[in-house]
Structure 1
Amino acid sequence: MMLDMEDRLDIYQKMLQIRSSELKMCELFKKGEIVGHMLPCLGQEAIPSTLAKVYAPDDYLVTAHRGGGHYMAKGCDFNAMWAELYGRATGTTKGRGGQIHLMDMSHFAMTGNAVVGQHWGIATGAGFVARKRGKIVVAVGGEGSTNRGIFHESLNMATVQKLPILYVVEFNNNQMGNTCEETTAGTRIANRAFAYDIPGATVDGNDPDAIYSKAIEYVDHIRSGKGPCLLECITGKWTDSVSNIRQLPEVLEKIKSPENDCIARFEVKLRAEGILTDALEKACKNRAQEMLQAALTFAQNSPLPNPSDGMDDVFSQPV
């Protein structure tokens, strides 16, 4: 199954939205206008934008700490996301969680978890709920998190229980400065699928067509009740965490490299197909900036949390 023109342009628009938003996040953090732990997905925009085409709006999405792109691609509240970055009461977690705790349960999105790898277990638990409701779960994380024991436990349980889960690994070969060669046995994360007797494959994570063709095949497999699949997407992240967001000029130089930039690559393909013109490209980029400006205005005009509400929404169980 191939992506039609409308889907391709929608993916392109989502990629632009994510790119513009994450660049602005880096810029504002550098200025000290927003604070906290920022983990952008610059360079990986093709994965969330394309995956949004294979799951339904009411399917569950669970990601690790670098989930902002997936949050946006799923169509979650963009204004609330930016309010959260500004620490405002109108944020996704009322200004308490910040960028790495984004979530929007009205869109079935749990797109933030500060503990590396723990989201795999949360996604697997969500798989039981999804199976009961006739839905699926898309679980996404970096290759570094797959060395946590819970990743293996999750694959095992999901396979035994035939849970409807698509496990997606964003292989960016950067684990807080460490490469996969330094930390991980084996050549490909997808090969682990064979140990659990489930489908597994590796695709070019910077190519929407490659991602979509395999992801939609796996989602069809999952929806038919045959259990989970493992999809590894080879990509690259241009920033790691707060410590090197400050290297933004160097980051931009890398992003401008056509062979490494998923957006530039997709633009070349869309132009070759006669889909993208100069006028349409400008319109799409203007749309992304308009959405961003509206969200910034909303966030900046939103109230700060009231200190008296500090104990609200805190779970307490008597000893």
Structure 2
Amino acid sequence: MQLSREALLQAYRQMKTIRAFEDRLHDEIQTGEIAGFTHLYAGQEACAVGVCENLGPKDFIISTHRGHGHCIAKGCDVIGMMKEIYGSREGLCKGRGGSMHIADVEVGMLGANGIVGAGAPLAVGAGITAKSNGTVSIAFSGDGACNQGTTFEAMNLAVVLKLPVIFVFENNHYSEHTGVAYAVGAENMAVRARAFGMRAEMADGIDFFTVHDAMRELIEYCKAGNGPAAIELDTERFYGHFEGDPQRYRGPGELDRIREERDSLKVFRKKVTEAGLLEHADIDQVDEEVMALIDRAVEEAKAGERPGPEHVVEDVYISY
């Protein structure tokens, strides 16, 4: 399906926003102003955006510890996210969630998660609601989470209950520091998913258009009452497992190679300009606007109100 000019610009804007957000965080973390672990999503932009550009505000997603890209792609406020990461009370979760636990239920983002494989069962729970209201629930996972028993149980239950849940496995080739060829015994993750009795596909996670088209088909399939599905997206991670990771498990020249040959933003720009769908000037303008947004987000996050001792018991218990 040919996307409109507006849809193409929106897709690129989302991918560029994720890249700029993560690149800026990579720099800002060095100042020591951001507390806690941070896991950057740069390199995997086509996965999050290719999936989420097919979704509406009432569709659900569950993220991972590497969740900034999913949040942005699903429509979370970028400035609110930056404030959250900086620990401001003005953040999306009042500064209580930080990098690994950003959520915004209003846009269907049910939360990032610091526990590997914990998102899949939550997505199945949301899938029960999705089945009743005609929407879909997406469980983002990495190649590490595909080995977790929670993921296996969630996939089986989704099939048993015939839920509109899609398990999206972003294979960036490393589970923390362990190569996927060493850690995953099956030929691929799609084979495992099919063993549970669901439809499963594979796609190039560097190419937005490939991801977008594959997900559009799977979403239509699930919303039609056919039960769950899964997809494995082959992608790349530009930074370490966490900020501060020395990445000694990488091969010589590996990062330089994937940044040059496997960059989803470069692939997108090349495709749309060569096809005459967008001009370089259009994309350059988006770049400028996004960088201004990220500058503003950091400035406001640094100036944002911080929580005090009087706030420590807020939102601990629900008041009925």
TM-score w.r.t. length of structure 1: 0.93
Give RMSD over aligned pairs: 2.0
SS of equivalent to 1:110? coil
Quote the offset at 1:255 in angstroms. Answer: 6.1
Superimposed CA distance per residue, residues 179-218 of structure 1 (whole angstroms, 9 cap, x where no aligned partner): 1121111111011222122110110000111111211111
**How many Å separate the matches in 1 of 2:130 and 2:55?**
12
The 5 A counterparts of 1:214-229 are 214-229=214-229
Structure 1 residues 139 and 2: alpha-carbon distance in aligned structure 2, compared to 1, 3 A threshold: farther
Aligned to 1:65: 65
Q: What amino acid is aligned across from residue 104 of structure 2 in structure 1?
A: D
Moved over 6 A (4+): none
The 5 A counterparts of 1:141-160 are 141-160=141-160
SS of equivalent to 1:130? helix
Q: Is the 8 A contact 2:87 2:96 kept in 1?
A: yes
**How many Å separate the matches in 1 of 2:262 and 2:50?**
17
Selected match of 1:277 from 256, 276, 279 = 279
Structure 1 residues 144 and 168: alpha-carbon distance in aligned structure 2, compared to 1, 3 A threshold: same
**How many Å separate the matches in 1 of 2:256 and 2:186?**
32
Structure 1 residues 96 and 241: alpha-carbon distance in aligned structure 2, compared to 1, 3 A threshold: same
**How many Å separate the matches in 2 of 1:117 and 1:101?**
14
Aligned to 1:75: 75
Quote the offset at 1:85 in angstroms. Answer: 1.1
Superimposed CA distance per residue, residues 51-93 of structure 1 (whole angstroms, 9 cap, x where no aligned partner): 1221112111111111110101111121110101111001122
TM-score w.r.t. length of structure 2: 0.93
Q: What amino acid is aligned across from residue 45 of structure 1 in structure 2?
A: E
Aligned to 2:234: 234
Aligned to 1:194: 194
The 5 A counterparts of 1:51-62 are 51-62=51-62
**How many Å separate the matches in 2 of 1:311 and 1:245?**
38
Q: Is the 8 A contact 1:15 1:45 kept in 2?
A: yes
Aligned to 2:291: 289
Quote the offset at 1:136 in angstroms. Answer: 1.1
Aligned to 2:27: 27
**How many Å separate the matches in 2 of 1:254 and 1:115?**
31
What are the ranges of 5 or more consecutive residues in structure 2 without an aligned counterpart? none
Q: What amino acid is aligned across from residue 245 of structure 2 in structure 1?
A: N
Selected match of 1:264 from 263, 266, 282 = 266
Aligned to 2:5: 5
Provide the aligned length of Structure 1 versus Structure 2: 314
Quote the offset at 1:288 in angstroms. Answer: 0.7
